[in-house]
């Protein structure tokens, strides 16, 4: 098999998955839907495996297709980046960069800076996801992710600390008037506590002992939400207590619509990092993005300084 043939069908396959159908991929690629379908079929025949489950209404990836898609995306991105640097110079950020951000924090504090960056570099294209789950950077083809919390021992990942967020336990005055003010951390096991989604895990909050040591405190998790702003809305509605970052509830604490509690053991912090696949060569598009995140994190009111 020639080297050229190894690349046949990659763009059609990747675009079909992104667009969701052969016809939508055809529009994006400027060819017919039949040509896209045949190209993907030839790719499957060459590989000797099915990449897509086809029905009259939808296309879904097979297990093999999911693995092959990640490789396709990396290859196509690399080619796009190399072609761009050949055309306009090695230091110019060119191509698509895939970024994963924590939901509320990413929308409020990071996205505006990314949009400014895209205007500054017209050949830099963004694909941004907002998620509270821990994405698998390698499996999902993510170029860089912003993560809040202690980093796991992820082999093959580079990281840059951007700052931290300080946590406060708070509730609406109406909830405290009806249920009383908690005085000890152990009371959280009997209170209505609002937190993020925890699959098959008990809800726990980070508290601080008198000597400054951070420790997890199990709480009674009544309501769970996958979005930080939804958690704030639930607390404002008087549904219970929640531990939230100060950047998210600062204004509510100032105007009294939320009240801090258990301040003697609150105040724990969670680090914020940018993480990306480790490589001896950092592409210009990734370098300019990380530099922008570092610059953003140093600005007053950026949300990265607790």
Of 28 and 12, more confident: 12
* pLDDT for 1: 47
Tens digits of per-residue pLDDT, 214-270? 889 999 999 999 888 899 999 999 999 999 999 999 999 999 999 999 999 988 888
pTM of the model: 0.68
Quote the CA–CA distance of 174 and 169 in Å, as a whole number.
15
Nearest to 226 by CA among 205, 269, 195: 195
Q: For 152-177, what is the mean pLDDT?
A: 90
Residues 98-123 have pLDDT tens digits of: 999 998 899 989 999 999 999 999 98
CATH no., domain 3-78: 1.10.10.10
Cα distances from 182 to residues 105, 245, 263, 286, in angstroms, run 28, 19, 10, 47
Q: What is the pLDDT of residue 195?
A: 92
Please state the domain extents for the chain.
3-78, 89-164+275-297, 165-269
* CA–CA dist 98, 40 (Å, integer): 24
- What residues form DSSP beta bridges with 135? none
Asked if the domains 3-78 and 165-269 are classified in one and the same CATH topology, the answer is no
- Which one, of 284, 283, 246, lies nearest residue 267 by Cα? 246
The residue among 255 and 8 whose pLDDT is bigger is 255
**CATH class held by domain 89-164+275-297:** alpha beta
- Third-level CATH fold of 165-269: D-Maltodextrin-Binding Protein; domain 2 (3.40.190)
Q: Is the pLDDT of residue 84 over 60?
A: no
């Amino acid at each position: 098999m020639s080297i050229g043939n190894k690349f046949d069908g990659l763009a059609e396959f990747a675009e079909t998955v992104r667009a969701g159908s052969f016809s939508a991929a055809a529009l994006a690629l400027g060819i017919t839907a039949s040509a896209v379908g045949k190209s993907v079929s030839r790719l499957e025949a060459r590989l000797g495996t099915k990449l897509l489950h086809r029905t009259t209404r939808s296309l879904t990836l097979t297990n093999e297709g999911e693995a092959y898609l990640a490789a396709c995306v990396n290859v196509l991105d690399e080619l796009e980046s190399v072609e761009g640097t050949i055309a306009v110079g090695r230091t110019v950020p060119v191509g698509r960069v895939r970024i994963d951000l924590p939901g509320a924090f990413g929308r409020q504090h990071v996205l505006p800076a990314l949009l400014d960056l895209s205007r500054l570099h017209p050949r830099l294209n963004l694909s941004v996801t907002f998620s509270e789950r821990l994405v698998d950077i390698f499996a999902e083809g993510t170029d860089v992710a912003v993560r809040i919390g202690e980093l796991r021992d992820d082999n093959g990942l580079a990281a840059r600390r951007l700052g931290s967020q300080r946590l406060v336990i708070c509730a609406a005055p109406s909830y405290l008037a009806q249920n009383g003010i908690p005085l000890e951390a152990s009371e959280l096991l009997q209170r209505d506590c609002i937190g993020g989604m925890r699959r098959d895990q008990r809800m726990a909050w980070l508290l601080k002992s008198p000597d400054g040591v951070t420790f997890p405190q199990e709480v009674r998790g009544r309501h769970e939400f996958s979005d930080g702003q939804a958690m704030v809305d639930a607390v404002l509605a008087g549904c219970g207590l929640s531990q939230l970052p100060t950047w998210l509830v600062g204004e509510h604490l100032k105007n009294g619509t939320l009240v801090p509690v258990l301040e003697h053991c609150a105040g724990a912090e969670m680090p914020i990092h940018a993480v990306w696949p480790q490589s001896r060569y950092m592409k210009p598009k990734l370098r300019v993005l990380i530099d922008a995140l570092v610059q953003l994190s140093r600005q007053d009111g950026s949300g990265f300084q607790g």
